[in-house]
Copies of this chain bind each other. A is one copy, B any other.
Amino acid sequence: MRKMAHGATLAEADRAALIHLTRHMRSVERRQTLTEEGDLNPRIHIVLEGWACRSKLLSNGKRLITDLILPGDACHPHTNLLGHADHSVTMLSDGLVAEVEAAEIARVLAHQASAAQALHWSSLQVDAILRQALINNGHRLADARIAHLICELRTRLLAVGLVKGDRFAWPLTQEELGQAVAISNVHANRSLMALRADGLIDLTTRVMVVPDLARLAAYCDFRPDYLHLSKGIDSALRT
């Protein structure tokens, strides 16, 4: 189910150990929060199906999304070190999540070397994604920000086998999209309309279609190297 084989070559035992972690799963609904900002001992989650996001609340009441969590991503596997959660985790669609004990994570880290490496790799990838988001949101026009996010999500979803041809699921509301790339919902709409008018995307009923990926990538200067997925992108396409 989960394909973090990008970060390390996993032996069968490691793979089994990782799968073992996802033993206790439960289904969750859109808008359900998995972790509340300020929680003292937040649970560790792994999202198996659906999208989630990390968000923070501003003093003016607005909610902002810092990163998107796609199937196969973990929430904050090491947060126990920090003492409290500095952000919330909320589902963006219905889905399926696994709850994991901190002690179990620790056990895997200690005993399964390459599984530990895989976990570690995935947290480094989060870093890289955050840095790219910082650049994207800070220094590009709204249209390009959105285009870039689409490219990134497509690439990440591709790595876990969730892109079918030229399309993939897109559960995001325009308001949520705006919160993720730091623009207002109204402007998110205008930008989407512009991308549609240019034939760069086709978005209807929660499905994103990218007819010409190269053109979209060129439009927003998307280079996927920061995702560090290259090495195993084909081998990982099947579990």
Chain A interface (Cβ < 8 Å from any Cβ of B): 7-8, 54, 56, 58-59, 62, 64, 66-67, 78-79, 81-84, 86-87, 117, 120-121, 123-128, 130-131, 133-135, 137-139, 182, 221, 225-226, 228, 231
Q: Are B182 and A83 neighbours in the complex by a CB distance under 8 Å?
A: no
Are B124 and A127 in touch, CB under 8 angstroms? Answer: no
| Contact in complex: B131, A78 (CB < 8 Å) | no
Contact B226 A86 (CB under 8 A): yes
Q: Is the CB of B54 within 8 A of A131?
A: yes
Q: Which of B81, B128, B182 is close to A82, meaning CB atoms less than 8 Å apart?
A: B128
Q: Are B56 and A135 in contact (CB under 8 A)?
A: yes
Docked Cα-Cα span, A175 to B143, in Å, equals 26
Q: From B64, B121, B231, give the contact of A135 (CB < 8 A).
A: B64
Closest to A134 in B: B66
